[in-house]
Chain A
């Protein structure tokens, strides 16, 4: 007790009682400096009131021992002990001026509560029949195609073949002239007054049942007759215009042909 700090303005006996009332027992000057520094200039203190100290957890080492003989009334209303415990609102009865300056009592580690493990979720099972399970439909997801039978092969066989002319500007002069000679031989058209309108490659003239030349499109449209042949000749054919009459004649080339096999 002799080591109690000699705070100016506080008589020694009061400081002793105050130390006992706070439960710090053999309060040394070192402890008081580090843990609870009291600076109070009290002119008069009512010693008749029993000390009523509320100490929060972590500060209990200061002691709960309240000496009843100490008629010092001291009430600590609130102590914040996290990290740097500070005693607040120390109310001294009949005090005129009281302060608690320092409360670095101890470096208490901060306590943290961490729930590292998630609590297992509750599993609920609905009562049977309470909620009807939806029906699962899968048939809508299957996109499927059906083969048809509305178009018969006979209909396809009867469809006209359309053949476009090749570019007659790309014809060699010799070929061009040979077509004119064919027109002169077959149609008796003087080559001097004829010109080629179109040339069609590989026309199966032996199998054609209907043949039409569409001058505006420069195409021939034809149908193929049913045949039991196993092969046929396919000829190059020209559309020759008679510049005198403007009539167009279809002239197959007698020597420009190939054989084709019919499955």
Chain B
């Protein structure tokens, strides 16, 4: 790491989207942090449970509908912050889209022997890539909602940038903890 980087003049906002399914209850939350992971905005949904009739009538599209329309679109309407992109866990890669017109990217840590990648950004599929974080020998596996490589590279560069000031995936754990605790309160209530 180059020591004592000169300060720039703008701070980044990092968006996180998390969908949590506990038992049959679906919850979602959006957290926006500054570039060291301090929360700036947090919105979440109360748990939603699909009835037996919902399951029958929605069939195989129920999960997608819950993830994308019921939870994510609802949260999008509430968000006031304006992060460049939204990060979500890799498990969410089947339900990627845009949040408030911002691209989502599904991320997970990835182990790779040194030298296996030709560059800091390697596409492995049309919508997947592996990116190496700067001077860390840490890799991230990314899944995109868009096949556009230019946008993918822009997202990857953004991730590399914010990885210089924070642990990219750590805030997702905080969201899960918050939702889980809230769900526990609901059960006790």
Residues on A facing B (Cβ under 8 Å): 140-141, 143-148, 150-151, 153, 155-157, 159, 161-164, 166-167, 170, 201-202, 204, 207, 224, 231-232, 234, 236, 255-263
Contact B70 A259 (CB under 8 A): no
B8, B46, B48, B181: which contacts A143 (Cβ < 8 A)?
B48
Known: A150-B182, A207-B36, A234-B36. 19 other contacts (CB 8 A): A140-B54, A143-B65, A145-B28, A145-B48, A147-B45, A148-B44, A148-B46, A151-B44, A151-B178, A156-B31, A201-B136, A201-B167, A224-B36, A236-B1, A258-B164, A259-B8, A261-B10, A261-B34, A262-B38
Instruction: Judge whether B84 is part of the interface by a CB distance below 8 angstroms.
Output: no
Instruction: Judge whether B124 is part of the interface by a CB distance below 8 angstroms.
Output: no
How far, in angstroms, from A260 to B66 measured CA to CA in the complex?
36
Instruction: Judge whether B6 is part of the interface by a CB distance below 8 angstroms.
Output: yes
How many residues of chain B have a CB within 8 Å of chain A? 58
How far, in angstroms, from A162 to B166 measured CA to CA in the complex?
11
- Taking CB atoms, residues of chain B closer than 8 Å to A257 are 3-5
Give 27 pairs: A residue, B residue, CB < 8 Å, sorted on A.
Answer: A140-B51, A140-B54, A141-B53, A143-B50, A143-B66, A144-B48, A145-B28, A146-B46, A147-B45, A147-B78, A161-B174, A162-B173, A163-B167, A166-B136, A170-B137, A202-B36, A204-B36, A207-B36, A255-B3, A255-B4, A257-B5, A258-B5, A258-B165, A259-B6, A259-B7, A262-B34, A262-B36
B54, B75, B179: which contacts A141 (Cβ < 8 A)?
B54
Residues on B facing A (Cβ under 8 Å): 1, 3-8, 10-13, 26, 28, 31, 34-46, 48, 50-51, 53-54, 57-58, 65-66, 70-71, 74-75, 78, 114, 136-138, 164-167, 170, 173-174, 177-179, 181-182, 185
- Taking CB atoms, residues of chain B closer than 8 Å to A263 are 11, 13, 34, 40
Q: Chain B nearest CB: distance from A221 CB in Å?
A: 11
Contact A145 B74 (CB under 8 A): yes
Contact A155 B178 (CB under 8 A): yes
